[in-house]
């Protein structure tokens, strides 16, 4: 018997917590490099630098380049070395978080992530995804350690466009279904060199799904009105913490594999990660030939919160078989997580599953 569990050193979620960041960083070191997403750099950088310096920290604050690609990873790593940074802080979305995680690992600095949107499960994990400068998926990398600290300021997260919260729901929706794939295929998780999932990891993946089904639509509607209800808080936690622990401790499968395949199509580059993953979830259910009631329920749930359920929703309206085949080829590239799906896989089968899901969803009544 063997099993392993991984997660962040500490997770804190509270409105206004970014103003208390210095208090959390002092025990970790003194020299801090903060990388802030470009959309928020100008509004957050001055006050954040002032707060950190008032807390006795030596802070360097820079703007994120926009893509977690080799050049940006090298740039941030170089800055960290030059500034002799003991702590790297990523403030922004998933690509900012992954860039900081990779750079901090390279210079052996502490990792702190401050998500400003609840759109992905990147903040808490020891996994980072690298893309090309053009946004095409290149590689998913397992890091030797998780972030030391994740600080979620819900006052900031709830001010972001609701589309980001919904995309996070789409990403988190994959957590239990891909965990189930890995359990059935007896695949290892992403902790260390890979181990069977612990009961704790499986329970968290289930809990993630339960929160989304119970609170997802309520949270979306409240967030559209600028309200931070208990449902919104619960979904932020599901998107950020539960989904992250769930996928890392149980594994991904074809939902994320199909997402990776979709990145090769230029038409999908305007979509958010979680939007593509949500479509991948529906394709995964079709690929695994799950019960019709389950497929229908998830299509209806995705529709209710505004996630894509057809190829047309992804901006794909022509040459559908050709596009689906390109996605399938990308999803079955060497090393892809798609192979954790408990099905004998082939490009024709994945292609047909994508097209079958599109046809089924298109004909399903509202």
Q: Please, what are the domains in the chain?
A: 11-157 (3.40.50.1970), 253-366 (1.20.1090.10)
What are the residues whose beta carbons fall under 8 Å from the beta carbon of 185, sequence distance 6 or more? 253, 340, 341, 342
- pLDDT tens sequence across 154-171: 999 999 999 999 999 999
Res 120: pLDDT = 86
According to DSSP, residue 12 is labeled E
Q: How far apart are CA 57 and CA 21, in angstroms?
A: 11
Answer yes or no: pTM beyond 0.75. Answer: yes
Res 137: pLDDT = 86
DSSP code string of 169-187: HHHHHHHHHHHHHHHHHT-
Res 161: pLDDT = 95
Out of 37, 171, 313, 358, the active site residue is: 171
Nearest partner of 156 among 62, 18, 54, 270, judged by Cα: 18
Residue 171 annotated to the active site: yes
The list of the chain residues with pLDDT below 70 reads none
- pLDDT tens sequence across 284-315: 999 999 999 999 999 999 999 999 999 999 99
Nearest partner of 354 among 336, 335, 331, 333, judged by Cα: 331
CA angle 77/18/82 to nearest 5° reads 20
Phi then psi for residue 114, to 5 deg, are: -120, 90
Residue 259 annotated to the active site: yes
Residue 24 annotated to the active site: no
Res 58: pLDDT = 97
Mean pLDDT of the chain: 96
Cβ pair 328, 354 in contact under 8 A: yes
Res 140: pLDDT = 86
Out of 24, 41, 209, 256, the active site residue is: 256
Distances (CA, A) of 279 to 116, 162, 273: 24, 18, 10
Out of 259, 260, 313, 358, the active site residue is: 259
Nearest partner of 35 among 84, 70, 87, 71, judged by Cα: 87
């Amino acid at each position: 018997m063997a099993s392993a569990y991984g997660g962040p050193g500490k997770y804190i979620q509270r409105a206004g917590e970014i103003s208390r960041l210095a208090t959390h960083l002092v025990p970790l070191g003194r020299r801090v490099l903060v990388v802030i997403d470009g959309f928020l750099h100008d509004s957050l950088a001055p006050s954040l630098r002032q707060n950190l310096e008032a807390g006795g920290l030596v802070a360097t604050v820079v703007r994120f380049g926009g893509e977690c690609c080799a050049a940006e990873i090298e740039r941030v790593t170089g800055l960290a070395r030059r500034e002799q940074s003991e702590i790297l802080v990523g403030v922004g979305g998933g690509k900012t978080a992954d860039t900081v995680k990779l750079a901090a690992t390279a210079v052996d600095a502490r990792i702190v992530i401050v998500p400003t949107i609840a759109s992905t499960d990147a903040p808490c994990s020891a996994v980072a995804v690298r893309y090309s400068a053009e946004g095409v998926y290149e590689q998913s990398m397992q890091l030797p350690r998780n972030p030391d600290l994740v600080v979620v300021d819900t006052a900031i997260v709830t001010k972001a466009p609701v589309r980001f919260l919904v995309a996070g729901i789409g990403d988190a929706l994959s957590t239990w279904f891909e965990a189930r794939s890995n359990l059935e295929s007896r695949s290892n998780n992403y902790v260390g060199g890979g181990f069977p999932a612990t009961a704790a990891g499986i329970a968290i993946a289930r809990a993630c799904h339960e929160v989304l089904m119970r609170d997802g639509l309520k949270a979306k509607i409240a967030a559209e009105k600028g309200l931070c209800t208990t449902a919104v808080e619960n979904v932020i936690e599901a998107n950020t913490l539960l989904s992250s622990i769930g996928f890392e401790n149980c594994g991904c499968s074809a939902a994320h594999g199909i997402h990776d395949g979709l990145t090769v199509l230029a038409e999908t580059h305007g979509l958010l990660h979680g939007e593509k993953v949500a479509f991948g979830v529906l394709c995964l259910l079709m690929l695994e030939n799950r019960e019709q009631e389950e497929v229908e329920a998830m299509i209806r749930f995705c529709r209710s919160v505004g996630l894509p359920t057809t190829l047309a929703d992804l901006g794909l309206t022509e040459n559908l078989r050709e596009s689906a085949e390109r996605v399938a080829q990308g999803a079955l590239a060497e090393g892809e997580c798609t192979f954790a799906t408990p099905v004998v896989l082939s490009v024709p089968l994945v292609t047909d599953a994508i097209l079958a899901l599109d046809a089924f969803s298109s004909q399903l009544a509202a």
